[in-house]
């Protein structure tokens, strides 16, 4: 009789499930409750990613090409120092000018580059507020171009008598891409001269020493000692 009881107990004992079975049961329950929501979420991601690539390939790419084609004459005028013509064009389809390229294709890479050109044109034409507007609106991850962007912003602010802003941008230009020794040394030198005008002699000396140390083979590097002496620094 004891044997029969033991056998009955063994028969009714719960069966231990494996980890895989527990996971399967858990997943099935989760999917039963949330499967529809997950499917919709996955579909939304697929649509967004697909739309992004489709937009870049079928819309943004062709638009950028059109912007580049529209810019080539303006760039040629810019290189020939015809800044007003480069900026405004001549009312022909072949030469719309940078401003119309920005208006029509501002969201493209070429349209973005047109903002840099427009700011440069305005700077050359003496319209410093518009120069600042377009140069600040231009965005770039290129350190090579950022030297020129910050440098020209420094020039525009300087012309407007905004020395603090000019100094800040000259400093940025001097540090953005130091391999460009000519422009880096030049913009740091301009920052030093403005600091000297502001009677911030110690700051001006520090920058001139930086130019002398890091850009010794440039014109400003050669001249650094002369300007340091004028500021009373003869070490």
Tokens standing for residue 9: 């107990």
What does the pLDDT look like over 210-221, one tens digit per residue?
999 999 999 999
Q: How many residues are given for the chain?
A: 235
Share of the chain above pLDDT 90, in %: 60
Query: Does residue 213 form part of some domain?
Result: yes
> At CA 161, angle to CA 127 and CA 171, rounded to 5?
95
What confidence score (pLDDT) does residue 10 get?
47
3-state SS record for 9-25: HHHHCCCCCCHHHHHHH
Name the band, by pLDDT with cuts 50, 70 and 90, for residue 160: very high
Whether 37 shows a pLDDT value over 90: the answer reads no
Do 125 and 144 reside in the same domain of the chain? no
Instruction: Tell me which of 131, 155, 188 is where a domain ends.
Output: 131
- Domain with 100, as residue range(s), is 44-131
Whether 187 shows a pLDDT value over 60: the answer reads yes
For residue 150, give the CATH number of its domain.
1.25.40.10
Do 123 and 145 reside in the same domain of the chain? no
Instruction: Tell me which of 79, 109, 131 is where a domain ends.
Output: 131
Residue located via tokens 């171009």: 145
The structure's pTM equals 0.73
> At CA 50, angle to CA 45 and CA 52, rounded to 5?
95
Please answer whether residues 194 and 154 qualify as being in contact, where contact means their C-beta atoms are separated by less than 8 angstroms. no
Between CA 34 and CA 178 the distance in angstroms is: 56
Three-state DSSP at 46 gives: helix
Do 210 and 163 reside in the same domain of the chain? yes
Do 68 and 158 reside in the same domain of the chain? no
Count of domains in the chain?
2
Three-state DSSP at 221 gives: helix
Tokens standing for residue 164: 């603090």
Query: Does residue 15 form part of some domain?
Result: no
Measured over the CA atoms of residue 191, residue 192, residue 194 and residue 200, the dihedral's sign is positive
Q: What integer best gives the mean pLDDT of the chain?
A: 82
Helix, strand, coil tally for the chain in percent (to 5)? 80, 0, 20
Do 181 and 214 reside in the same domain of the chain? yes
Name the band, by pLDDT with cuts 50, 70 and 90, for residue 183: very high
Between CA 42 and CA 50 the distance in angstroms is: 12
What confidence score (pLDDT) does residue 110 get?
86
Most confident of 5-14, 19-28, 171-180: 171-180
């Amino acid at each position: 009789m004891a044997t029969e009881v033991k056998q009955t107990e063994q028969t009714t004992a719960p069966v231990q499930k494996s980890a895989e079975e527990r996971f399967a049961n858990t997943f099935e329950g989760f999917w039963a409750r949330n499967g529809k929501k997950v499917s919709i979420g996955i579909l939304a991601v697929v649509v967004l990613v697909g739309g992004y690539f489709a937009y870049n390939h079928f819309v943004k790419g062709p638009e950028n090409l059109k912007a580049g084609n529209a810019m080539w004459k303006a760039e040629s005028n810019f290189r020939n120092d015809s800044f007003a013509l480069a900026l405004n064009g001549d009312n022909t389809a072949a030469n719309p000018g940078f401003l119309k390229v920005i208006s029509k294709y501002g969201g493209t890479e070429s349209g973005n580059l047109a903002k840099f050109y427009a700011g440069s044109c305005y700077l050359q034409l003496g319209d410093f507020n518009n120069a600042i507007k377009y140069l600040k609106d231009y965005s770039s991850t290129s350190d090579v171009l950022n030297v020129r962007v910050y440098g020209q912003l420094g020039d525009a602010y300087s012309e407007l008598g905004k020395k603090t802003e000019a100094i800040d941008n000259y400093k940025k230009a001097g540090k953005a891409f130091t391999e460009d020794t000519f422009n880096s040394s030049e913009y740091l030198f301009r920052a030093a001269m403005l600091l000297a005008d502001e009677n911030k002699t110690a700051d001006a000396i520090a920058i001139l020493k930086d130019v002398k140390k890091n850009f010794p083979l440039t014109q400003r590097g050669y001249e650094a000692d002369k300007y340091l002496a004028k500021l009373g620094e003869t070490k």
